[in-house]
Amino acid sequence: MGKRELMRDRLKTLSDEAYKEFNDRILNAPSMPTLGIRTPKLRELAKEAAKEPEGGWLDEMLRDHGSCVYQEEHMLFGMASGYRKASREEHAAMLDIWVPGVLSWADCDCSTSTYKWMEKDPEFWFSYLEKWLNSSREFELRFGVIALMDHFLNDRYIDEVLRRYADIRSEDYYVRMGIAWGVATAYVKYPEKVLGLLKEKKLDIWTHNKAIQKCRESRRVSAQDKEMLNALKRKQEEEHGNTRI
């Protein structure tokens, strides 16, 4: 039995049927079965897998181009790739295999948050993300959007991040939700820049409204700002008609 099969059996022992039922509802990604494993347990296992010597489970996954049976298996692959110590070229090769297999927002977001090494070599990684930001596939594009939010909301890149968000035109739900989340997250640190984006109506109306909604749901946005943003949303709706979000 190979390391991939052994790891799959180990993952099955962590399965929680009650959590699986809940998780399946919020994932809404029926194309790959799930086991129902809580994210903290997956993270622990990913850190362990990332430290294995050459020829371990992660190397087998890379050799087999990320072939998986369960979503948690693919998420483990993405997280372990993030935790592994490697060169930027090796990390890029891992992402080239992992990203096309992403089939849910949780797989995308939980793994992308581990790629802290992007912040140590931002010029390389910002350029690398371009191919995913130009993808027509929903979760490849969401990966690019979430990576910008997680690792590039800083003084050097904020203008470029907001420009890239504004340039994206997609009808895919998880792409637009990702952009709205990214814009709302950016608002906490760069309110004036994000307000300019919103006032200039650079986002489609659905994403514009959803970004404002997420700002208003945030505990890090003041009550005064929330009211101001709500007034901006009402004005937008009056001009374009009420668009349901």
Per-residue pLDDT of 32-90, as tens digits, reads 899 999 999 999 999 999 999 988 999 999 999 988 999 999 999 999 999 999 999 99
The pLDDT value recorded for residue 244 is 45
Per-residue pLDDT of 189-222, as tens digits, reads 999 999 999 999 999 999 999 999 999 999 999 9
The pLDDT value recorded for residue 241 is 60
What distance in Å separates the CA atoms of residue 108 and residue 102, rounded to the nearest whole number? 6
Residue 242 in this model has a pLDDT that exceeds 60: no
What distance in Å separates the CA atoms of residue 137 and residue 132, rounded to the nearest whole number? 9
What distance in Å separates the CA atoms of residue 111 and residue 102, rounded to the nearest whole number? 10
Structure-derived torsion over alpha carbons of residues 117, 158, 228, 243, reported in degrees to the nearest 10? -80
The pLDDT value recorded for residue 233 is 82
The pLDDT value recorded for residue 239 is 72
By the 8 A CB rule, do 220 and 186 touch? no
Q: Whole-number mean pLDDT of the chain?
A: 93
Average confidence (pLDDT) over 135-162: 98
CB atoms near residue 73 (< 10 Å): 24
Provide the percentage of residues in the chain whose pLDDT is more than 70. Answer: 97
